[in-house]
Every structure is written in C-alpha cells, then in structure tokens.
Amino acid sequence: MIVLLRAGADVAAARAVEAALQRAGAGARRVNGGGRLAVESVAPHAPLGDETRARLAALDGVEAVLDGAEPNPRVRAARGPVEIATPLGPLEIGGAAVALAFGPCSVDDEDDLWKTASAARAAGAQLLRGGAFKPRTSPYAFQGAGAGALRLLRRAGDAFGLAVVSEAMSEASLDAVAAECELVQLGARSMACTPLLKAAARCGRPLLLKRGFGATVDEWLAAAEYLLDGGAPGVILCERGIRTFEPGTRATLDLGGLALARLRTGLPIFVDPSHAAGTRALVEPLSLAALAAGADGLIVECHADPGRARSDGPQALALDELEPLARACHRVARAVGREIKLCSVTCPPTTPSRRPSSALPR
C-alpha cells in the first residue's frame, strides 16, 4: 500500500501517515511518489483493512491510498467528456455523440490525403487521422514522411473542418506533433514507455492512448494514470486488439477489455477496428460490435487507393466504403442510446481553401 500525499504536503503530514501505519501494525518507509511525498507500508504487516484505509485517507495532506483495490485513483475518478478543439469549434468525446476518425495509416501522398479528408468529412467524421512518424516492425519499411506529413495533415484538417490526430513515437517528435494536431496519439508499442508518457502529459494536447497488444487492462489504465498524474488536459483510451493465438486476424479485438475498462474509469474509450482486423472485410463488423459494447468513438484506416498505401493497405477501407460504414454505425449507435452526427444531416458545408502543394519525400 502506498499513501500518496498532495503536492505541497509537508514532512509533518508524512510523519502522521507513518505513525498511523505503525499503529495499524505495519512498518512504513518514505518513497518517491512521482515527485511528491509518499509513504509505503512495509512488512511486517497484517493485511490493512478498510478501516485503516479510511483513517489514512482522512489524514491531512493525503491525496490517495493506493493498493491492489485502487491502483489508479485519477483514472478511476476521471469523469465526463474530453474536449478537443476542431477547426469548427470544440468537440466533446465521450458525450452522447460517438466520434469518427478516418484517415490513412500513414500520410504518403498529398492528393490522396486531400481526397481522403474530403470523403471523411462527407461521411460524417470529425477527425482526420494520419501517421507521420510510423512504428514499423521492419527497419526497411516506410517509416513515415515526418514533419512534412504533419503539415499536410494540418492543412487538410483546416480545409475540411476536421481535427487531426497523429502519433508521437518519441520525446523528440512530441513537440512537432503537438504543434499541428489537436489530438496526440500514443501508440500500442509506446504504451509502456514511461519517459514518453511523462513528456506527453506535458505537451498541452489531449492524448489518445492505445492499449499495448500485450498489455492487461490494468497496465493500460496505469499508463493513463501516468498521463493524468503528469497533467494531461484529457485522455482518451483506445482498444486496438491484443495478441492471441488466432492467426486469421492481425490481433483480437478485446471487447471484454473495453467493457472492463468502462467499469474502472469514466475516461472516454475509442476502438480501432483496423489494427485488430488486419483486413478490410472485418472492419465494419468490428466497428459495429465496438459501438454496441459502448465505444465512444472509432478510429478507422482508409486510403484513396489502398493498393498504393505505403503502410497497412490490406486493412484500409476504400473511400466509397466510409459513408456506408458511418450509416451502419449510426444505426447501432442509436440502438444503444447514442448518436452519430452524420455529415449530410448536421455538417455545414466547407469550402476547401487553396490546395497545398508541398510534395512529400518518397
């Protein structure tokens, strides 16, 4: 058990916690609680009961009593929608409306991105996704077009009224991603990279935290705890499939994990059906199942010409598949008491400003 003290709590508060632990029959030692004072109970200790927990929690300067039953107090206490800016005004994630993010795995061609943003908007998406820094299994695979891709993403987002989301893979790329994107993605491979989590928490943007494909729900929530503890203005969780023994899909979409996370936190939860599926034919059924299970949004890969995509082409929807997907999602969302704001019904028309013309390195 760790008793975490509030920022600014003094040594006297820590001593009072130590004394209370000793009275309950436990040893106590001071530890580093993420830069704040904290006291850990140490052996020999009888199991500390609810009464002791309550007594410790009520002491002056105590912020939280962390143990197996309550390892992530900020994640557990998190409530309400996360607000992200969009070129058309604020967007609430985790409210009544389900959000849609469409876009390519990686931004690899300017014309294709422009067509994609237009189709995403027409289908009702509020966000445009697109990788600029890509975590690839092979060092010889396309690693993303970097900062140039972020600029194209930004311009396409502005032209079509879409917020943009892209992954920051390292502390070095955080500032560039946060400068251009309303939502910063932390990928499955980075979920457990605590230095990146700490830095991302300070980047000033809401964060989309993907679940590692080998991470338990509690490990995923602990990563979110790092972000909230570090001051992140908003955290959206994203289930994207975990590794199982099934070779027919790229990963196994863990809807049980989604439901379990929902029990443990009020943070909004997205689902990425594309990386779970690995193949486009499975994207719609997984999307619908995710919404039925309570997802607050979907992030789906698509491409103007999936055969030419430089990453994840086999799982990318073609652009004419976006609107039928959004309509099917609309029906399921309504069946579970949510809504999707289909563009044809609610979006004001946008007039794309002048086309950008900066080519990406190939």
Contacts with Mn ion by CB under 5 A lie at 105, 312
Distance CA 267, CA 295 (A): 11
**Which residues, at least 6 apart from 90, have a Cβ–Cβ distance to it below 8 Å?**
83, 84
Candidate list 240, 250, 310, 338; residue touching ligand PEP; CB under 6 A? 240
Q: Is residue 1 involved in binding ligand PEP (CB under 6 A)?
A: no
Q: How many whole angstroms from its chain centre is CA 148?
A: 23
Task: Choose, by CB under 6 A, the member of 4, 39, 105, 223 that binds ligand PEP.
Answer: 105
Cis ω before 44 (30° cut-off from 0): yes
Q: Which residue is nearest to ligand PEP (CB)?
A: 187
Find which of ligand PEP, Mn ion, none residue 110 binds, CB within 5 to 8 Å per kind: none
Alpha-carbon distance of 360 to 32, in angstroms, equals 46
Residue at 307: amino acid letter: G
Does position 135 bind ligand PEP by CB under 6 A?
A: yes
Q: Is 169 in the site for ligand PEP (CB under 6 A)?
A: no
Contact range with ligand PEP by CB under 6 A, out of 40-48, 93-101, 182-190, 253-261: 182-190
Burial grade of 357 (CB within 10 A; 0-12, 13-18, 19 or more):
exposed
Q: How far apart are CA 269 and CA 261, in angstroms?
A: 8
Q: Which is nearer to ligand PEP, 240 or 262 (CB)?
A: 240
Residue nearer to ligand PEP on the CB measure, 94 or 241 = 241
Alpha helices (H) in 124-185, listed in sequence order: 147-160, 171-180
Strands of the chain (E only): list them.
2-5, 27-33, 36-42, 62-66, 82-84, 91-93, 99-103, 127-129, 163-167, 183-186, 207-210, 235-239, 269-271, 297-303, 317-318
Backbone angles phi, psi at 352, to 5 degrees: -55, 135
Q: Is 131 in the site for ligand PEP (CB under 6 A)?
A: yes
The residue with its CB nearest to Mn ion is 105
For the bound state, the minimum distance from the C-beta of residue 56 to Mn ion, rounded and expressed in Å, comes to: 45
Burial 85-115 (b: 16+ CB within 10 A, else e): ebeeeebebbbebbbbbbbbbbbbbbebbbb
Q: Which 247-276 positions form the footprint of ligand PEP (CB under 6 A)?
A: 272, 275
Least distance (Å) from Mn ion to the CB of residue 175?
A: 23
Strands (E), 240-345: 269-271, 297-303, 317-318
CB of residue 188 vs ligand PEP: minimum separation in angstroms?
4
Contact characters 184-203, ligand PEP, x per CB under 6 A: ---xxx--------------
Of 37 and 193, nearer to ligand PEP (C-beta) is 193
Q: Which residues pair with 97 in a beta bridge?
A: 339
Q: Could you tell me how many residues of this chain bind ligand PEP (CB under 6 A)?
A: 10
Q: Which is nearer to ligand PEP, 13 or 188 (CB)?
A: 188
Tell me whether residue 189 or residue 264 sits nearer to ligand PEP (CB atom).
189
206 binds ligand PEP (CB under 6 A): no
Binding site for ligand PEP (CB under 6 A): 105, 131, 135, 187-189, 210, 240, 272, 275
